[in-house]
Structure 1
Amino acid sequence: MPRPDTPSRDRLEAILARLDLRQHEERAFVRLYPETARAEADAADRRRREGKGRGALDGRIVSIKDLFDIAGEPTLAGSVIRRAAPPATADAAIVRRLRAAGAVIIGKTHMTEFAFTAVGLNPHYPVPGNAIDPSLIPGGSSSGAGVSAAEGSSEIAIGSDSGGSVRIPAALQGLVGFKPTARRIPLEGAFPLSPSLDSIGPLARTVADCAAADAVMAGETPRPLEPIPLAGLKLAIPEGILLEGLTPEIAAAFERSLQALSRAGAKLAECGIDDLLARFAEATAIGSLAGLEASRVHADWLPDENAPVDIRVKSTLRRRLAVPDAAIRDLLRTRQELMRVMDERLAPFDFILLPATPIPAVSIASIEEDRAEYRRVEDLLLRNMQVANQFDLTAITLPMADTRLPAGLMLMARHGADAMLLGAAASVEKLLRSG
């Protein structure tokens, strides 16, 4: 990694040179902006020399998911059917805020089609193989975002998270991935998946970088991250279904993490939420909330049997389109009640601890042609992650130590507790890194 005082233009040119060598087999980025990025890097270096820096993101190399509008071009959202869409008339709100903070936007990253699947495959593009081992899945839907941050072709990557789409690729590639409380960050100019669940979050190597990007995107003034002491914190362990089916290595890493937190003075206690998960599952027997809302977003092309869309997306959304609007309204009312009960359930605790995913990244070959295995893997990747979206919580995943393949430790906190969660995560990050 380059030294922190290396000029932005030098860091950018090193990345662009690497990407140029693989331009004919690029898998992480769908589009690069070399000239505008160079201008942004030069401006950041000039401000630095003049002592007029704009803060923690000034001059940082940032990638954005192919979900966010850039003025003058269509937003593809991972789909070939949007190539003929009208060009965006303005940058997305978060892109404007990142640029205003001095971020250097290097390019748009690949994603699964319409952000709908979690494994990381998109039939229209080559799979962006995991940065740790390109034969492994990257996780989705922010697949290219995870690869760019993990391989260093961006220093911070911006993705979206409606069921784990920031945290899954982060966990599978040894990164920090943060899902803020939904609606803290404006969705203007972000192609929607599920308006009730969508949130925008960063992936990076450190909690501090995620916190800085989050603050800028939320329109807040970035401040130095203040770690919260772990001693005395009350941490909930949701015994039950969310801890089932862990691979032995992830189970062992999770147990080591709990022991380290206990030694640091944190107070661990069991907290049952299986009943709430069961009630949510019952309410969504008509279809996932993401699928139901997405079917309305995509109602214009769904009747076309020949639409060139991933069959995993098209078949699911077509079924959900048949669900009456009244049933969706009932589901949303039920969700509001379950969110209220979950908030009460978590009130005695500072945050919840879980393995981010019960399994590490699997091989691309193992799921590419095997639909049953694909579905099994996707269900496992989503299982723990989607709880934060379903119940409107905030969550972050951190790399656990001493695993053969990356595995994440997820911290979840109540709605609106983003600042507290980031402060606690900074302390947990240091603890895990110290062994």
Structure 2
Amino acid sequence: MPTDIHTLQTKLHDGSATRAGVIAAAAELARQPAAQSVLLHATFEAAAETARAADTAARAGQPLHPLAGLPVSVKDLFDVAGEVTRAGSPVRDDAAPAAADATVVRRLREAGAALVGRTNMTEFAFSGVGINPHFGTPVNPADRSVARIPGGSSSGAAVSVALGLAVAGLGSDTGGSIRIPAALCGLTGFKPTQRRVPLDGAFPLSYTLDTACAMARSVHDCALVDSVIADQAVVPASKAAAGIRLAVPRQYLLDDLDATVARAFDRTLGLLSAAGVGIEPVDLPELAELPGINATGGFTAPEAYAIHRHVLAARRGQYDPRVAMRIERGAAMSAPDYVDLVRARAAWIARVLARIEGFDAVACPTVPMVAPPVAPLLADDDLFFRTNALLLRNTSAFNFLDGCSISLPCHQPGELPVGLMLSHGALRDAQLLGTAIALETIVRPAA
């Protein structure tokens, strides 16, 4: 049964579970039909060796990191020594195997994590939907009657955690790629301040916005993984719910919510208010400026084009056409336009931070919709791009802010998953995690 790291640690300590048993159960789950297209490359045998070694060390009384011997999945854009980093694309089938682990992968290994394999993703991480036409699309486990998207781009990472193949999924977040699938699959996803976590050995999408991060089943689990990959023990600031102040923007982030999301968000605000949390509607007109500021493609399109332009010219037919189309948009941005964008962002960040100073977080739905069915999005390009833009709208605002952000599940039994997103500015990670921990038990879905 999928569970969080704290619960597993309790079972390990009382002898009702072993790390090797956890890996064996994860390997069995990976063979089930629900796990199809989740892992592009599985390494359960090596993970089992790591788990057995951790069990032996534990029996000998050696101190172990909480992740030691537990299954962790790795998004396909991170280098793992000896493996090809395909970034979800056949374009890189002939790339040389990585000579060394990405820094974040190495740090997970050093903590003793048992790496169970490379997870599927949107090709080159360029979509929030999670569809991959080359390797299949992992199906969202939240609905067994209709095949729904998992969200992207860290699609396989989310499903690996939701199904119980991993206790945490290492992924990335450029415009929402951790928080979107976490919200749609009923998980917790934390995007730290970008500069805190190294990107060495990660195949890039946007040098300006890419963030290495993870999703798991609780705020504590996300904070635990973050402390490993950032090599920085960020201790969540201790807070009580009563007295926390949340800013709820009147502009942009609450537009076009579907009925399930609107109902869950309103109910969540009511629960928080009853617990003594200050819910304060605020004006953030700067949010409505974002489409105009990014009208020429934002940072991602030109930076992705700079990365891909030579390979794209030679091998476009091997790309997902929808990804290629978005990359090629970056060819039109001039150097002066790019400089203007950099300067506009800096000024925009300063204005937004001035408005949210004094609040513990900005609160909004992580995404405006529950996970839509896969089939219509495969068939209709216009629907795909409209859906993708809406999925990314709220999350990408806080990438542009250069801030930290976390998505917490806030739906109820019988509802498709909905995420509550809490966000603030750069290097407020400890404070934000403290706020999220204080609110998690209030908003968490009932068992």
Is TM more than 0.5 here? yes
Provide the C-alpha distance between the structure 1 equivalents of 2:32 and 2:186, rounded to a whole number of angstroms: 25
Residue number in structure 1 paired with 2:18: 7
Question: Cα offset for 1:222?
Answer: 6.8
Residue number in structure 1 paired with 2:79: 69
Residue 267 (structure 1) aligned with residue 300 (structure 2): no
Flag as ranges the 4+ runs of structure 1 deviating above 6 A. none
Provide the C-alpha distance between the structure 2 equivalents of 1:214 and 1:179, rounded to a whole number of angstroms: 9
TM-score by length of 2: 0.93
Q: How does 1:29-108 map to 2 (within 5 A)?
A: 29-108=39-118
In structure 2, relative to structure 1, the CA distance for the partners of 1:401 and 1:286 (3 Å cut) is: closer
From 196, 202, 212, the counterpart of 1:184 = 196
Residue number in structure 1 paired with 2:423: 412
From 243, 246, 268, the counterpart of 1:257 = 268
Q: Report SS of the residue matched to 2:309.
A: coil
Q: Report SS of the residue matched to 2:195.
A: coil
Conserved in 2, the CA contact under 8 Å of 1:162 and 1:199? Answer: yes
Provide the C-alpha distance between the structure 2 equivalents of 1:100 and 1:343, rounded to a whole number of angstroms: 37
From 171, 175, 198, the counterpart of 1:163 = 175
Conserved in 2, the CA contact under 8 Å of 1:227 and 1:425? Answer: no
Provide the C-alpha distance between the structure 2 equivalents of 1:322 and 1:179, rounded to a whole number of angstroms: 30
Q: Which moved more, 1:44-53 or 1:408-417?
A: 44-53
Conserved in 1, the CA contact under 8 Å of 2:408 and 2:421? Answer: yes
In structure 2, relative to structure 1, the CA distance for the partners of 1:340 and 1:368 (3 Å cut) is: same
One-letter amino acid of the counterpart of residue 424, structure 1? T
One-letter amino acid of the counterpart of residue 428, structure 1? L
Residue 332 (structure 1) aligned with residue 342 (structure 2): yes
Aligned length: 432
Question: Cα offset for 1:226?
Answer: 6.0
One-letter amino acid of the counterpart of residue 213, structure 2? G
Q: CA RMSD in A?
A: 1.8
In structure 2, relative to structure 1, the CA distance for the partners of 1:322 and 1:427 (3 Å cut) is: same
Q: Which runs of 5+ in 2 are unaligned?
A: none
From 280, 285, 305, the counterpart of 1:295 = 305
From 181, 205, 227, the counterpart of 2:217 = 205
Q: Which moved more, 1:421-430 or 1:61-70?
A: 421-430
Provide the C-alpha distance between the structure 2 equivalents of 1:258 and 1:221, rounded to a whole number of angstroms: 31
Provide the C-alpha distance between the structure 1 equivalents of 2:238 and 2:378, rounded to a whole number of angstroms: 42
Cα deviation 1:161-202 (Å, max 9, x = unaligned): 000000111000100011001121100111111011111111
Residue 361 (structure 1) aligned with residue 391 (structure 2): no
Residue 432 (structure 1) aligned with residue 446 (structure 2): no
One-letter amino acid of the counterpart of residue 118, structure 1? G
Cα deviation 1:34-70 (Å, max 9, x = unaligned): 2221221112112211222332222221001001001
One-letter amino acid of the counterpart of residue 200, structure 1? A
TM-score by length of 1: 0.95
In structure 2, relative to structure 1, the CA distance for the partners of 1:123 and 1:401 (3 Å cut) is: closer
Provide the C-alpha distance between the structure 2 equivalents of 1:288 and 1:221, rounded to a whole number of angstroms: 33
Conserved in 2, the CA contact under 8 Å of 1:139 and 1:172? Answer: yes
Residue 322 (structure 1) aligned with residue 332 (structure 2): yes
From 205, 208, 211, the counterpart of 1:196 = 208
Conserved in 2, the CA contact under 8 Å of 1:60 and 1:156? Answer: no
Q: Report SS of the residue matched to 1:335.
A: helix
Q: How does 1:138-157 map to 2 (within 5 A)?
A: 138-157=150-169
Q: Which moved more, 1:77-86 or 1:330-339?
A: 330-339
Provide the C-alpha distance between the structure 1 equivalents of 2:331 and 2:39, rounded to a whole number of angstroms: 32
Provide the C-alpha distance between the structure 2 equivalents of 1:424 and 1:92, rounded to a whole number of angstroms: 31
From 346, 371, 375, the counterpart of 2:356 = 346
One-letter amino acid of the counterpart of residue 224, structure 2? A
One-letter amino acid of the counterpart of residue 421, structure 2? M
Conserved in 1, the CA contact under 8 Å of 2:22 and 2:70? Answer: no
Question: Cα offset for 1:305?
Answer: 6.4
Q: Report SS of the residue matched to 1:231.
A: coil
Provide the C-alpha distance between the structure 2 equivalents of 1:409 and 1:319, rounded to a whole number of angstroms: 32
Q: Which moved more, 1:45-54 or 1:66-75?
A: 45-54
From 359, 381, 384, the counterpart of 1:374 = 384
Provide the C-alpha distance between the structure 1 equivalents of 2:28 and 2:289, rounded to a whole number of angstroms: 52
Provide the C-alpha distance between the structure 1 equivalents of 2:350 and 2:54, rounded to a whole number of angstroms: 45
Cα deviation 1:71-125 (Å, max 9, x = unaligned): 1122100010101112211000001101111111111100000000111111111
Cα deviation 1:266-288 (Å, max 9, x = unaligned): 112122223x1233322222112
Residue number in structure 2 paired with 1:26: 36
Q: Report SS of the residue matched to 2:190.
A: strand
Question: Cα offset for 1:17?
Answer: 2.4
Question: Cα offset for 1:227?
Answer: 4.7
Provide the C-alpha distance between the structure 1 equivalents of 2:43 and 2:19, rounded to a whole number of angstroms: 15
From 410, 421, 430, the counterpart of 2:432 = 421
Residue number in structure 1 paired with 2:27: 16
Conserved in 1, the CA contact under 8 Å of 2:159 and 2:185? Answer: yes
Provide the C-alpha distance between the structure 1 equivalents of 2:269 and 2:77, rounded to a whole number of angstroms: 36
Q: Report SS of the residue matched to 1:304.
A: helix
Provide the C-alpha distance between the structure 2 equivalents of 1:216 and 1:306, rounded to a whole number of angstroms: 38
Q: Report SS of the residue matched to 1:302.
A: helix
Conserved in 1, the CA contact under 8 Å of 2:91 and 2:315? Answer: no
